[in-house]
Amino acid sequence: MFRQVLKSKLHRAMITAADVDYEGSIEIPLDLMETVGLWEGEKVLVASITTGNRLETYVQPGRPGTGHIIINGGAAHRIKKGERVAIMAFGISETPVLAKKVVLDEKNLIVRESR
């Protein structure tokens, strides 16, 4: 049986900007994307720890090392600058998967990694 399982998670990420006029997506620094195995264009679930709002969008790579996580387009009406979020990606597998997870601080620096 195939199951949908968590494969990647950026936990307690800080939204550093929100742009409703952009075409859509969430921009994540490339170094963070690589750490948890996210691909450009990959669908993610973004859950606000601050408000409880949840939405799906796709990932766009941002400049590595900046810590800038930017929510764009209509999603910026649901999740705002300064909110803490969990950014999660899922995969389909027949066997258990150990997700690559990181916990971030207020500057989106990695505090803890787990697998």
Residues serving a catalytic function are: 25, 58
CA separation for the pair 75, 46 (Å, rounded): 10
How far from 14 is each of 43, 63, 68, CA to CA, in Å?
19, 16, 8
Phi and psi (nearest 5°) for 33? -55, -45
